[in-house]
A and B are shown apart, each in its own frame.
Chain A
Amino acid sequence: MPSALINVPAKATRGETIEIKTLMSHPMETGYRRTATGELIPRNIITSFACRYNGVEIFRADLYPAIAANPFITFFTVATESGKFDFEWIGDQGFSETASAAITVA
């Protein structure tokens, strides 16, 4: 089972700009490399990442073969209300992972 590291501040004041950091374990195989015997290694990458804040999408990224293994994606958002961030990674070969983190906004 692939593991993910999520860094969301546990607490924030309303209107504060917060940084969200995510690290997902994934080989990000480009599809251009060959084995020692010359066979093409099939592409296996994460193709999209999305973050929802209490159900509303606040960030989305498309990923391509030039992105390194174990993609580290960080972005900023404004803390508006207490609740939950849901993260979703979708990729080749049926890859689909989710994670979530809670935040208390005072």
Chain B
Amino acid sequence: MRCARAIAVAALLIAAGIAASPLPATEIPPAARRSGFSFMAPGTQAIQNEDTANPGMLWVLDGETLWDNNANPAGKACADCHHDVGASMKGVAARYPAFDPALTRPVNLEQRINLCRTRHQQATPLAYESHDLLALTALVGKQSRGVAIEGGTDPQLEPFVAKGHALFMQRQGQLNLSCSNCHDDNWDKHLAGSAITQGQPTGYPLYRLEWQSLGSLQRRLRSCMIGIRAQPYDYGAPELVQLELYLMSRAQGMPIETPAVRP
């Protein structure tokens, strides 16, 4: 009798615990969140810490040139509307992906830049991972350095964050792994000598030593999908933007590091 009562109490406690916590048990508590920066060797951290050693700054420099370039059908440079990039773009990257009312879906920073090009400059969109698109994205992203991420706070984005979360939890590919299997459950371990990390999107676009180039968050996500032998979504696919959005909401409050350096 006493035993049965103890079991009932335990069951109630477990049920109450689950109901009280809005997050699934596997999610990283806010205090335990760590940027990929903290997993790196001191030498790699030193490259990121100094702007004249950080190769990502080469793209930022090119972005500054592009910002003032008005060689497009509308004859309008980014600077003609947005003026000083340091003032107008501060904090912008911390809010992306953001909801676009005309498209009724979230767009990431690269897509926003391309929408600006097609809507206001009458120019052709830049290709994903092209030098110029990365340069402009890095320039805009850099203005938010140190700004706390506030991705996914817009109520209109709620269903898309939920879709991104579902994708993050979804097992896929020949290895049948979800993002969460590594980046929530095993981020403190190693995979073939490399830190797994939490998959925090704080530094994109970032310079990866392995890529020997700057790359976007979508490039990173696609590499991960190839790694688990899943068919990666195409660049710009709504699913990738939803994943980006979920990652940004998961990293709320963490500071932007763009352009970061990773091994």
Q: Give me the interface of A with B, judged by CB distance under 8 Å.
A: 1, 3-7, 21, 23, 25, 27-28, 68-70, 72
Contacts and interface: CB of A to CB of B under 8 A. Distances in A.
A54 to B, nearest CB: 22
A21 B58 CA distance: 14
Interface in B141-197: none
B212 interface: yes
B142 to A, nearest CB: 14
A6 B57 CA distance: 11
A11 to B, nearest CB: 16
Given A5-B51, A6-B52, A23-B52, A69 B58 contact: no
Contact of B52 (A1, A21, A69, A70): A21
A1 B50 CA distance: 23
B61 A5 contact: yes
B58 A3 contact: yes
Nearest to A28: B212
Interface residues of B, number: 14
B61 A23 contact: no
Given A5-B58, A25-B58, A70 B51 contact: no
Nearest to A21: B52
Interface of B: 47, 50-53, 55, 57-58, 61-62, 65, 209, 212-213
Contacts of A70: 55, 58, 212
Contacts of A1: 65
B57 A68 contact: no
22 contacts: A1-B65, A3-B61, A4-B58, A5-B51, A5-B58, A5-B61, A6-B52, A7-B50, A7-B52, A7-B53, A23-B52, A23-B53, A23-B57, A25-B55, A28-B212, A68-B209, A68-B212, A69-B55, A69-B213, A70-B55, A72-B47, A72-B55
Contacts of A21: 52-53
B125 to A, nearest CB: 23
A72 B54 CA distance: 9
Contact of A3 (B47, B50, B51, B62): B62
B53 A72 contact: yes
A72 B58 CA distance: 12
